[in-house]
Structure 1
Amino acid sequence: MLFAAIDQWRAPAPPAGKVAWLKGQVYAHRGLHGHGVAENSPAAFAGAIARGLGIECDVQRSGDGQAVVFHDWELDRLTGDTGAVGDLSAAQLGKIVLTGGDDTIPTLGATLAQVRGQVPILIEVKSRRDRRIHALCLAVRRVLEGYRGHHAVMSFDPRVSRWFARHSPQTVRGLVVTEEGARTLSGSARRHLALWHARPDFLAYDIRDLPSAFPEAQRQRGLPVLTWTVRSAELAERAAVYADAAIAEGGGIG
Protein backbone atom coordinates (compact mmCIF):
# COMPACT_ATOMS: atom_id res chain seq x y z
CA MET A 1 0.00 0.00 0.00
CA LEU A 2 2.84 2.39 0.78
CA PHE A 3 4.48 1.83 -2.61
CA ALA A 4 1.14 2.32 -4.35
CA ALA A 5 0.52 5.64 -2.65
CA ILE A 6 3.99 6.92 -3.47
CA ASP A 7 3.68 5.69 -7.07
CA GLN A 8 0.60 7.82 -7.54
CA TRP A 9 2.29 10.84 -5.96
CA ARG A 10 5.72 10.63 -7.56
CA ALA A 11 4.76 9.10 -10.94
CA PRO A 12 1.13 9.98 -11.67
CA ALA A 13 -0.62 8.20 -14.51
CA PRO A 14 -0.82 10.11 -17.80
CA PRO A 15 -4.06 11.38 -19.32
CA ALA A 16 -5.68 8.43 -21.07
CA GLY A 17 -5.88 10.28 -24.38
CA LYS A 18 -2.15 10.92 -24.43
CA VAL A 19 -1.24 7.22 -24.45
CA ALA A 20 -4.26 5.48 -26.00
CA TRP A 21 -2.50 5.07 -29.35
CA LEU A 22 0.20 2.90 -27.77
CA LYS A 23 -2.23 0.07 -27.12
CA GLY A 24 -3.28 -2.75 -29.40
CA GLN A 25 -0.24 -2.45 -31.63
CA VAL A 26 2.50 -4.79 -32.72
CA TYR A 27 5.79 -2.91 -33.01
CA ALA A 28 8.46 -4.44 -35.23
CA HIS A 29 11.59 -4.68 -33.07
CA ARG A 30 14.27 -2.66 -34.89
CA GLY A 31 12.03 -2.79 -37.92
CA LEU A 32 11.01 -5.85 -39.90
CA HIS A 33 14.50 -7.30 -40.27
CA GLY A 34 15.96 -10.67 -41.17
CA HIS A 35 16.43 -12.61 -44.42
CA GLY A 36 18.99 -10.16 -45.76
CA VAL A 37 17.42 -7.05 -44.22
CA ALA A 38 19.51 -5.39 -41.51
CA GLU A 39 18.01 -4.29 -38.20
CA ASN A 40 17.36 -0.56 -37.80
CA SER A 41 17.67 -0.06 -41.55
CA PRO A 42 15.46 1.86 -43.99
CA ALA A 43 14.56 -1.48 -45.62
CA ALA A 44 13.46 -2.89 -42.25
CA PHE A 45 11.34 0.17 -41.59
CA ALA A 46 9.82 0.00 -45.08
CA GLY A 47 8.89 -3.63 -44.45
CA ALA A 48 7.15 -2.72 -41.20
CA ILE A 49 5.24 0.11 -42.85
CA ALA A 50 4.12 -2.18 -45.66
CA ARG A 51 2.72 -4.63 -43.08
CA GLY A 52 1.05 -1.88 -41.05
CA LEU A 53 3.27 -2.62 -38.06
CA GLY A 54 4.51 -0.04 -35.61
CA ILE A 55 8.26 0.49 -35.48
CA GLU A 56 10.71 0.30 -32.59
CA CYS A 57 14.19 1.67 -33.23
CA ASP A 58 17.35 2.51 -31.31
CA VAL A 59 18.93 5.96 -31.24
CA GLN A 60 22.24 7.26 -29.98
CA ARG A 61 24.31 10.40 -30.46
CA SER A 62 26.94 10.71 -33.17
CA GLY A 63 30.27 12.40 -32.64
CA ASP A 64 28.90 15.67 -34.03
CA GLY A 65 25.81 15.63 -31.82
CA GLN A 66 23.16 14.21 -34.13
CA ALA A 67 20.65 11.48 -33.34
CA VAL A 68 21.48 8.40 -35.41
CA VAL A 69 19.63 5.08 -35.60
CA PHE A 70 21.91 2.26 -34.45
CA HIS A 71 21.78 -0.20 -31.56
CA ASP A 72 25.33 -1.15 -30.61
CA TRP A 73 27.97 1.19 -29.23
CA GLU A 74 30.49 -0.37 -31.61
CA LEU A 75 30.18 -0.83 -35.37
CA ASP A 76 31.63 -4.33 -35.48
CA ARG A 77 28.54 -6.58 -35.25
CA LEU A 78 26.35 -4.78 -37.74
CA THR A 79 28.78 -3.41 -40.30
CA GLY A 80 32.09 -4.25 -41.94
CA ASP A 81 33.73 -1.42 -40.02
CA THR A 82 35.11 -1.25 -36.49
CA GLY A 83 35.22 1.38 -33.78
CA ALA A 84 32.78 3.40 -31.70
CA VAL A 85 29.70 4.99 -33.22
CA GLY A 86 30.24 8.06 -31.07
CA ASP A 87 33.63 8.73 -32.62
CA LEU A 88 32.16 9.45 -36.06
CA SER A 89 29.97 12.19 -37.46
CA ALA A 90 26.49 11.49 -38.79
CA ALA A 91 27.79 12.09 -42.31
CA GLN A 92 30.54 9.53 -41.83
CA LEU A 93 28.11 7.02 -40.34
CA GLY A 94 25.79 7.64 -43.27
CA LYS A 95 28.42 6.19 -45.58
CA ILE A 96 28.81 2.93 -43.64
CA VAL A 97 26.88 0.04 -45.15
CA LEU A 98 24.86 -2.16 -42.82
CA THR A 99 25.69 -5.85 -43.16
CA GLY A 100 23.18 -7.80 -45.22
CA GLY A 101 22.06 -5.12 -47.64
CA ASP A 102 22.78 -1.81 -49.33
CA ASP A 103 21.41 0.48 -46.62
CA THR A 104 23.66 2.75 -44.60
CA ILE A 105 23.23 4.00 -41.03
CA PRO A 106 20.32 6.49 -41.02
CA THR A 107 19.77 9.54 -38.89
CA LEU A 108 16.64 9.79 -36.80
CA GLY A 109 15.55 12.68 -39.00
CA ALA A 110 15.78 10.53 -42.12
CA THR A 111 13.86 7.74 -40.41
CA LEU A 112 11.04 10.04 -39.36
CA ALA A 113 10.91 11.43 -42.91
CA GLN A 114 10.55 7.86 -44.16
CA VAL A 115 7.83 6.92 -41.66
CA ARG A 116 5.87 10.17 -42.10
CA GLY A 117 3.29 9.20 -39.52
CA GLN A 118 2.16 6.14 -41.48
CA VAL A 119 2.70 3.94 -38.41
CA PRO A 120 3.56 4.72 -34.77
CA ILE A 121 7.22 4.71 -33.79
CA LEU A 122 8.97 3.98 -30.49
CA ILE A 123 12.42 5.50 -30.12
CA GLU A 124 14.66 3.77 -27.60
CA VAL A 125 17.27 6.26 -26.47
CA LYS A 126 20.55 4.47 -25.76
CA SER A 127 22.50 5.94 -22.87
CA ARG A 128 25.29 5.09 -20.48
CA ARG A 129 25.07 5.71 -16.76
CA ASP A 130 28.58 7.20 -16.71
CA ARG A 131 27.64 9.89 -19.23
CA ARG A 132 25.41 12.92 -19.01
CA ILE A 133 22.22 12.63 -20.99
CA HIS A 134 21.28 16.26 -21.73
CA ALA A 135 22.99 16.53 -25.13
CA LEU A 136 21.64 13.15 -26.23
CA CYS A 137 18.05 13.94 -25.24
CA LEU A 138 18.30 17.40 -26.76
CA ALA A 139 19.46 15.92 -30.07
CA VAL A 140 16.40 13.64 -30.09
CA ARG A 141 13.98 16.41 -29.12
CA ARG A 142 15.25 18.71 -31.85
CA VAL A 143 14.47 16.11 -34.49
CA LEU A 144 11.02 15.40 -33.03
CA GLU A 145 9.97 19.05 -33.11
CA GLY A 146 7.17 19.37 -35.63
CA TYR A 147 6.79 15.62 -36.21
CA ARG A 148 3.07 14.91 -36.29
CA GLY A 149 2.94 11.12 -36.33
CA HIS A 150 2.41 9.06 -33.19
CA HIS A 151 5.77 8.69 -31.47
CA ALA A 152 7.30 8.01 -28.06
CA VAL A 153 10.75 7.91 -26.51
CA MET A 154 11.84 5.28 -24.01
CA SER A 155 14.98 4.13 -22.25
CA PHE A 156 16.34 1.81 -19.60
CA ASP A 157 17.87 4.95 -18.08
CA PRO A 158 15.31 6.71 -15.85
CA ARG A 159 17.13 9.98 -16.45
CA VAL A 160 15.97 10.01 -20.07
CA SER A 161 12.27 9.84 -19.25
CA ARG A 162 12.81 12.38 -16.47
CA TRP A 163 14.52 14.74 -18.93
CA PHE A 164 11.58 14.60 -21.32
CA ALA A 165 9.14 15.05 -18.44
CA ARG A 166 10.92 18.30 -17.61
CA HIS A 167 11.90 19.64 -21.02
CA SER A 168 9.34 18.15 -23.44
CA PRO A 169 6.29 17.11 -21.38
CA GLN A 170 4.11 16.72 -24.46
CA THR A 171 6.37 13.88 -25.68
CA VAL A 172 5.13 10.44 -24.65
CA ARG A 173 7.91 8.85 -22.60
CA GLY A 174 8.53 5.33 -21.34
CA LEU A 175 10.73 3.42 -18.91
CA VAL A 176 12.20 0.13 -20.17
CA VAL A 177 12.41 -2.50 -17.42
CA THR A 178 13.90 -5.94 -16.94
CA GLU A 179 13.73 -7.61 -13.54
CA GLU A 180 16.67 -9.99 -14.13
CA GLY A 181 15.24 -12.38 -11.57
CA ALA A 182 15.22 -9.80 -8.77
CA ARG A 183 11.79 -10.38 -7.26
CA THR A 184 12.99 -9.65 -3.76
CA LEU A 185 11.95 -6.66 -1.68
CA SER A 186 15.16 -4.86 -2.67
CA GLY A 187 14.48 -5.57 -6.34
CA SER A 188 10.97 -4.20 -6.02
CA ALA A 189 12.29 -1.13 -4.24
CA ARG A 190 14.76 -0.47 -7.09
CA ARG A 191 11.97 -0.64 -9.65
CA HIS A 192 9.82 1.77 -7.70
CA LEU A 193 12.73 4.17 -7.26
CA ALA A 194 13.37 4.07 -11.01
CA LEU A 195 9.68 4.73 -11.63
CA TRP A 196 9.59 7.69 -9.28
CA HIS A 197 12.64 9.23 -10.87
CA ALA A 198 11.54 8.58 -14.47
CA ARG A 199 7.90 9.71 -14.15
CA PRO A 200 7.04 7.75 -17.32
CA ASP A 201 3.81 7.63 -19.30
CA PHE A 202 4.23 3.90 -19.98
CA LEU A 203 6.43 0.89 -19.27
CA ALA A 204 8.20 -1.37 -21.78
CA TYR A 205 8.66 -4.61 -19.86
CA ASP A 206 10.76 -7.72 -20.47
CA ILE A 207 8.41 -10.48 -21.65
CA ARG A 208 10.47 -12.98 -19.66
CA ASP A 209 9.28 -11.27 -16.47
CA LEU A 210 5.57 -11.40 -17.21
CA PRO A 211 3.34 -11.90 -15.34
CA SER A 212 4.66 -9.71 -12.55
CA ALA A 213 3.02 -7.68 -9.81
CA PHE A 214 4.93 -4.46 -10.51
CA PRO A 215 3.86 -3.87 -14.13
CA GLU A 216 0.35 -5.09 -13.40
CA ALA A 217 -0.02 -2.52 -10.63
CA GLN A 218 1.13 0.26 -12.95
CA ARG A 219 -1.16 -0.99 -15.71
CA GLN A 220 -4.14 -1.00 -13.37
CA ARG A 221 -3.60 2.64 -12.48
CA GLY A 222 -3.32 3.82 -16.08
CA LEU A 223 0.21 3.30 -17.41
CA PRO A 224 0.15 1.17 -20.59
CA VAL A 225 2.52 -1.80 -20.46
CA LEU A 226 4.34 -2.76 -23.64
CA THR A 227 6.49 -5.87 -23.68
CA TRP A 228 9.70 -6.94 -25.47
CA THR A 229 11.07 -8.92 -27.19
CA VAL A 230 8.24 -11.18 -28.34
CA ARG A 231 9.89 -13.78 -30.57
CA SER A 232 7.37 -16.64 -30.75
CA ALA A 233 3.65 -17.35 -30.98
CA GLU A 234 3.73 -18.59 -27.39
CA LEU A 235 5.20 -15.31 -26.17
CA ALA A 236 2.68 -13.40 -28.28
CA GLU A 237 -0.11 -15.17 -26.39
CA ARG A 238 1.49 -14.19 -23.09
CA ALA A 239 1.84 -10.60 -24.26
CA ALA A 240 -1.84 -10.48 -25.22
CA VAL A 241 -2.82 -11.34 -21.64
CA TYR A 242 -0.34 -9.35 -19.60
CA ALA A 243 0.51 -6.33 -21.77
CA ASP A 244 -1.16 -3.71 -23.92
CA ALA A 245 1.14 -4.05 -26.94
CA ALA A 246 4.02 -6.21 -28.13
CA ILE A 247 7.45 -5.26 -29.43
CA ALA A 248 8.10 -8.29 -31.58
CA GLU A 249 10.23 -9.93 -34.21
CA GLY A 250 10.33 -13.25 -36.08
CA GLY A 251 7.67 -15.70 -34.94
CA GLY A 252 6.25 -13.17 -32.52
CA ILE A 253 4.88 -11.08 -35.36
CA GLY A 254 2.95 -13.87 -37.01
Structure 2
Amino acid sequence: MIPLPDSFLTIPIAHRGLHDHAAGRPENSRAAFWAAIDAGYGIEMDIQPSRDGVPMVFHDYGLARLTGQSGPIQQRTAEELSRLSLLGTDETIPTLADVLTLTAGRVPLLIELKDQDGALGPNVGSLERAVADVLAGYDGPAAVMSFNPHSVAALAEAAPNLPRGLVTEAYADSDTQMVPPERRDALRKIPDVDRVGAGFISHQASDLSRPRVQELKESGLPILCWTIRSPEQEAEARKTADNITFEGYAAAHPGA
Protein backbone atom coordinates (compact mmCIF):
# COMPACT_ATOMS: atom_id res chain seq x y z
CA MET A 1 0.00 0.00 0.00
CA ILE A 2 1.27 3.48 -0.93
CA PRO A 3 0.08 6.09 1.63
CA LEU A 4 -2.08 8.92 0.38
CA PRO A 5 -0.26 12.27 0.81
CA ASP A 6 -1.68 14.51 3.54
CA SER A 7 -2.77 17.14 1.02
CA PHE A 8 -5.51 14.79 -0.20
CA LEU A 9 -6.95 14.79 3.31
CA THR A 10 -6.72 18.51 4.07
CA ILE A 11 -7.62 20.29 0.81
CA PRO A 12 -11.20 19.93 -0.53
CA ILE A 13 -11.26 18.35 -3.98
CA ALA A 14 -13.23 19.99 -6.80
CA HIS A 15 -15.25 17.40 -8.71
CA ARG A 16 -14.18 17.53 -12.37
CA GLY A 17 -12.54 20.83 -11.53
CA LEU A 18 -14.30 23.94 -10.24
CA HIS A 19 -16.75 23.83 -13.11
CA ASP A 20 -19.52 26.31 -13.86
CA HIS A 21 -21.06 26.13 -17.32
CA ALA A 22 -22.65 29.58 -17.01
CA ALA A 23 -19.20 31.03 -16.36
CA GLY A 24 -17.69 29.21 -19.35
CA ARG A 25 -16.01 26.50 -17.29
CA PRO A 26 -17.32 23.07 -18.36
CA GLU A 27 -16.53 20.02 -16.28
CA ASN A 28 -13.09 18.47 -16.84
CA SER A 29 -11.91 21.53 -18.76
CA ARG A 30 -8.74 23.58 -18.50
CA ALA A 31 -10.82 26.55 -17.31
CA ALA A 32 -12.37 24.48 -14.52
CA PHE A 33 -8.94 23.29 -13.45
CA TRP A 34 -7.48 26.79 -13.49
CA ALA A 35 -10.37 27.96 -11.32
CA ALA A 36 -9.73 25.17 -8.82
CA ILE A 37 -6.05 26.07 -8.64
CA ASP A 38 -6.86 29.76 -8.13
CA ALA A 39 -9.26 28.86 -5.30
CA GLY A 40 -6.74 26.55 -3.65
CA TYR A 41 -8.69 23.33 -4.20
CA GLY A 42 -7.54 19.91 -5.25
CA ILE A 43 -8.81 18.51 -8.54
CA GLU A 44 -10.70 15.33 -9.34
CA MET A 45 -10.80 14.30 -13.00
CA ASP A 46 -11.91 11.40 -15.18
CA ILE A 47 -9.92 9.51 -17.80
CA GLN A 48 -11.17 7.81 -20.97
CA PRO A 49 -8.95 6.57 -23.82
CA SER A 50 -8.95 7.94 -27.35
CA ARG A 51 -8.91 5.59 -30.36
CA ASP A 52 -5.13 5.85 -30.44
CA GLY A 53 -4.79 5.07 -26.73
CA VAL A 54 -4.15 8.56 -25.40
CA PRO A 55 -5.56 9.24 -21.89
CA MET A 56 -8.18 11.96 -22.35
CA VAL A 57 -9.74 13.95 -19.50
CA PHE A 58 -13.42 13.23 -20.08
CA HIS A 59 -16.13 11.58 -17.99
CA ASP A 60 -18.65 10.01 -20.36
CA TYR A 61 -18.24 7.02 -22.63
CA GLY A 62 -20.26 8.87 -25.28
CA LEU A 63 -19.58 12.31 -26.72
CA ALA A 64 -23.16 13.58 -26.98
CA ARG A 65 -23.82 15.23 -23.60
CA LEU A 66 -20.66 17.32 -23.50
CA THR A 67 -19.82 17.92 -27.16
CA GLY A 68 -23.04 17.40 -29.13
CA GLN A 69 -21.21 14.86 -31.29
CA SER A 70 -22.39 11.28 -31.74
CA GLY A 71 -20.61 8.06 -30.86
CA PRO A 72 -18.19 6.91 -28.17
CA ILE A 73 -15.06 8.82 -27.29
CA GLN A 74 -13.00 5.74 -28.16
CA GLN A 75 -13.91 6.11 -31.84
CA ARG A 76 -11.98 9.41 -32.19
CA THR A 77 -8.24 10.05 -32.11
CA ALA A 78 -6.72 12.38 -29.55
CA GLU A 79 -6.17 14.98 -32.26
CA GLU A 80 -9.82 14.81 -33.31
CA LEU A 81 -11.02 15.01 -29.72
CA SER A 82 -8.81 18.00 -28.99
CA ARG A 83 -10.80 20.01 -31.53
CA LEU A 84 -14.25 19.31 -30.05
CA SER A 85 -15.93 22.13 -28.14
CA LEU A 86 -17.16 21.37 -24.62
CA LEU A 87 -20.75 22.53 -24.09
CA GLY A 88 -20.46 25.15 -26.82
CA THR A 89 -17.61 27.03 -25.13
CA ASP A 90 -14.09 27.75 -26.31
CA GLU A 91 -12.89 24.90 -24.10
CA THR A 92 -11.89 21.59 -25.71
CA ILE A 93 -11.12 18.10 -24.40
CA PRO A 94 -7.65 18.03 -22.81
CA THR A 95 -5.29 15.09 -22.59
CA LEU A 96 -4.00 14.02 -19.21
CA ALA A 97 -0.58 15.30 -20.28
CA ASP A 98 -2.13 18.72 -21.01
CA VAL A 99 -3.59 18.87 -17.51
CA LEU A 100 -0.34 17.86 -15.85
CA THR A 101 1.41 20.69 -17.66
CA LEU A 102 -1.30 23.10 -16.52
CA THR A 103 -1.35 22.06 -12.86
CA ALA A 104 2.44 21.71 -12.54
CA GLY A 105 2.28 20.16 -9.08
CA ARG A 106 0.43 23.05 -7.47
CA VAL A 107 -2.58 21.10 -6.13
CA PRO A 108 -3.36 17.42 -5.47
CA LEU A 109 -4.79 15.52 -8.45
CA LEU A 110 -7.27 12.69 -7.89
CA ILE A 111 -7.45 10.80 -11.18
CA GLU A 112 -10.27 8.34 -11.84
CA LEU A 113 -9.88 5.82 -14.65
CA LYS A 114 -13.27 4.90 -16.06
CA ASP A 115 -13.97 1.18 -16.40
CA GLN A 116 -13.00 -0.23 -19.79
CA ASP A 117 -14.27 -3.79 -19.21
CA GLY A 118 -17.94 -2.84 -19.33
CA ALA A 119 -18.90 -4.84 -16.25
CA LEU A 120 -16.07 -4.01 -13.81
CA GLY A 121 -14.29 -7.19 -14.83
CA PRO A 122 -10.73 -8.18 -15.80
CA ASN A 123 -10.58 -6.98 -19.41
CA VAL A 124 -8.41 -3.96 -18.62
CA GLY A 125 -4.78 -2.92 -18.72
CA SER A 126 -3.97 -0.71 -21.68
CA LEU A 127 -5.44 2.51 -20.27
CA GLU A 128 -3.79 1.85 -16.91
CA ARG A 129 -0.39 1.47 -18.55
CA ALA A 130 -0.91 4.61 -20.64
CA VAL A 131 -1.86 6.66 -17.57
CA ALA A 132 1.15 5.29 -15.67
CA ASP A 133 3.42 6.31 -18.55
CA VAL A 134 2.07 9.87 -18.57
CA LEU A 135 2.37 10.22 -14.80
CA ALA A 136 5.87 8.74 -14.63
CA GLY A 137 7.58 12.09 -14.99
CA TYR A 138 5.08 14.18 -13.02
CA ASP A 139 6.50 16.02 -10.02
CA GLY A 140 3.43 16.72 -7.92
CA PRO A 141 0.82 15.10 -5.68
CA ALA A 142 -1.25 12.65 -7.73
CA ALA A 143 -3.32 9.57 -6.89
CA VAL A 144 -5.23 7.18 -9.14
CA MET A 145 -8.46 5.29 -8.53
CA SER A 146 -11.20 3.29 -10.22
CA PHE A 147 -14.49 1.56 -9.51
CA ASN A 148 -12.95 -1.54 -11.07
CA PRO A 149 -10.62 -3.40 -8.67
CA HIS A 150 -8.96 -5.08 -11.67
CA SER A 151 -8.04 -1.63 -12.92
CA VAL A 152 -6.52 -0.72 -9.56
CA ALA A 153 -4.54 -3.99 -9.61
CA ALA A 154 -3.29 -3.12 -13.11
CA LEU A 155 -2.24 0.31 -11.84
CA ALA A 156 -0.35 -1.36 -8.99
CA GLU A 157 1.65 -3.28 -11.57
CA ALA A 158 2.16 -0.36 -13.97
CA ALA A 159 2.88 2.30 -11.34
CA PRO A 160 3.73 0.56 -8.05
CA ASN A 161 4.87 3.76 -6.32
CA LEU A 162 1.74 5.78 -7.14
CA PRO A 163 -0.98 6.09 -4.47
CA ARG A 164 -4.06 4.18 -5.59
CA GLY A 165 -7.56 3.66 -4.29
CA LEU A 166 -10.98 2.19 -4.93
CA VAL A 167 -14.09 4.16 -5.82
CA THR A 168 -16.94 2.48 -3.97
CA GLU A 169 -20.69 2.80 -3.65
CA ALA A 170 -23.99 1.10 -2.74
CA TYR A 171 -24.65 -0.03 -6.33
CA ALA A 172 -28.33 0.81 -5.92
CA ASP A 173 -28.76 3.43 -8.66
CA SER A 174 -30.17 2.74 -12.10
CA ASP A 175 -26.92 3.73 -13.82
CA THR A 176 -25.16 0.72 -12.28
CA GLN A 177 -27.62 -1.83 -13.63
CA MET A 178 -25.37 -2.76 -16.57
CA VAL A 179 -23.09 -4.42 -14.01
CA PRO A 180 -24.27 -8.01 -13.36
CA PRO A 181 -26.17 -8.38 -10.05
CA GLU A 182 -23.68 -10.84 -8.61
CA ARG A 183 -20.82 -8.45 -9.37
CA ARG A 184 -22.66 -5.57 -7.70
CA ASP A 185 -23.34 -7.72 -4.66
CA ALA A 186 -19.65 -8.56 -4.37
CA LEU A 187 -18.37 -5.00 -4.86
CA ARG A 188 -20.87 -3.58 -2.37
CA LYS A 189 -18.90 -5.37 0.36
CA ILE A 190 -15.64 -3.61 -0.66
CA PRO A 191 -13.63 -6.85 -0.55
CA ASP A 192 -10.58 -5.86 -2.60
CA VAL A 193 -8.80 -3.24 -0.47
CA ASP A 194 -5.98 -5.50 0.68
CA ARG A 195 -5.72 -7.47 -2.57
CA VAL A 196 -5.05 -4.39 -4.71
CA GLY A 197 -3.07 -2.49 -2.08
CA ALA A 198 -5.57 0.36 -1.92
CA GLY A 199 -4.35 3.30 0.15
CA PHE A 200 -7.83 4.85 0.36
CA ILE A 201 -11.40 4.53 -0.78
CA SER A 202 -13.60 7.24 -2.26
CA HIS A 203 -17.13 6.27 -1.27
CA GLN A 204 -20.61 7.44 -2.25
CA ALA A 205 -21.53 10.17 0.24
CA SER A 206 -25.09 8.97 0.78
CA ASP A 207 -23.78 5.53 1.79
CA LEU A 208 -21.07 6.51 4.29
CA SER A 209 -22.95 4.82 7.14
CA ARG A 210 -22.28 1.40 5.62
CA PRO A 211 -20.66 -0.81 8.30
CA ARG A 212 -17.82 -1.82 5.96
CA VAL A 213 -16.88 1.86 5.49
CA GLN A 214 -16.82 2.31 9.25
CA GLU A 215 -14.67 -0.80 9.58
CA LEU A 216 -12.15 0.50 7.07
CA LYS A 217 -12.06 3.89 8.77
CA GLU A 218 -11.37 2.25 12.13
CA SER A 219 -8.52 0.31 10.52
CA GLY A 220 -6.88 3.62 9.63
CA LEU A 221 -7.68 3.65 5.89
CA PRO A 222 -8.37 7.19 4.62
CA ILE A 223 -11.98 7.73 3.51
CA LEU A 224 -12.77 10.21 0.76
CA CYS A 225 -16.31 10.68 -0.56
CA TRP A 226 -18.31 11.86 -3.58
CA THR A 227 -20.14 14.03 -4.55
CA ILE A 228 -20.99 16.75 -2.03
CA ARG A 229 -23.25 19.58 -3.27
CA SER A 230 -23.96 21.77 -0.24
CA PRO A 231 -22.44 22.87 3.06
CA GLU A 232 -25.06 20.79 4.86
CA GLN A 233 -24.06 17.64 2.99
CA GLU A 234 -20.43 18.46 3.67
CA ALA A 235 -20.99 18.74 7.43
CA GLU A 236 -22.75 15.38 7.50
CA ALA A 237 -20.15 13.64 5.32
CA ARG A 238 -17.24 14.88 7.42
CA LYS A 239 -18.60 12.93 10.40
CA THR A 240 -17.14 9.90 8.60
CA ALA A 241 -15.05 11.03 5.63
CA ASP A 242 -11.57 12.48 5.95
CA ASN A 243 -12.15 14.66 2.89
CA ILE A 244 -14.76 15.47 0.27
CA THR A 245 -15.12 15.77 -3.47
CA PHE A 246 -17.56 18.62 -4.11
CA GLU A 247 -19.28 20.70 -6.78
CA GLY A 248 -21.80 23.52 -7.08
CA TYR A 249 -20.68 25.58 -4.07
CA ALA A 250 -17.48 26.84 -2.42
CA ALA A 251 -16.32 24.18 0.02
CA ALA A 252 -14.72 25.38 3.21
CA HIS A 253 -10.98 25.07 3.69
CA PRO A 254 -10.68 23.29 7.04
CA GLY A 255 -8.59 25.33 9.46
CA ALA A 256 -8.68 28.42 7.23
Letter in 1 for 2:124: I
Going from structure 1 to structure 2, the CA distance change for 1:86 and 1:22 (only over 3 Å counts) comes to: same
When normalised by structure 2's length, the TM-score is 0.86
After superposition, the CA RMSD in angstroms is 2.0
Give runs of aligned pairs for residues 163-242 of structure 1, distance below 5 A: 163-180=154-171, 187=185, 190-242=188-240
Counterpart in the other structure of 2:40: 52
Pairwise CA distance, 1:45: 0.3
Pairwise CA distance, 1:187: 4.5
CA distance in 2, matches of 1:187, 1:252: 35
Structure 1 unmatched ranges of 5 or more? 1-13
Counterpart in the other structure of 2:176: none
Pairwise CA distance, 1:76: 0.3
For residue 102 of structure 1, the aligned residue among 69, 90, 93 is 90
Going from structure 1 to structure 2, the CA distance change for 1:252 and 1:203 (only over 3 Å counts) comes to: farther
Matched, 1:31 2:17: yes
Compare the two structures and name the one with the higher helix fraction. 1
The answer to whether the Cα contact below 8 Å between 2:168 and 2:190 also exists between their aligned partners in 1 is no
Structure 2 unmatched ranges of 5 or more? 174-183
Letter in 1 for 2:238: A
The answer to whether the Cα contact below 8 Å between 2:46 and 2:113 also exists between their aligned partners in 1 is yes
CA distance in 2, matches of 1:221, 1:100: 46
Percent identity for Structure 1 against Structure 2 = 38
What is the count of residue pairs matched by the alignment?
237
Letter in 2 for 1:228: W
Going from structure 1 to structure 2, the CA distance change for 1:155 and 1:189 (only over 3 Å counts) comes to: closer
Give runs of aligned pairs for residues 104-183 of structure 1, distance below 5 A: 104-130=92-118, 132-180=123-171
Secondary structure at the counterpart of residue 68 of structure 1? strand
CA distance in 1, matches of 2:232, 2:89: 30
Pairwise CA distance, 1:127: 1.4
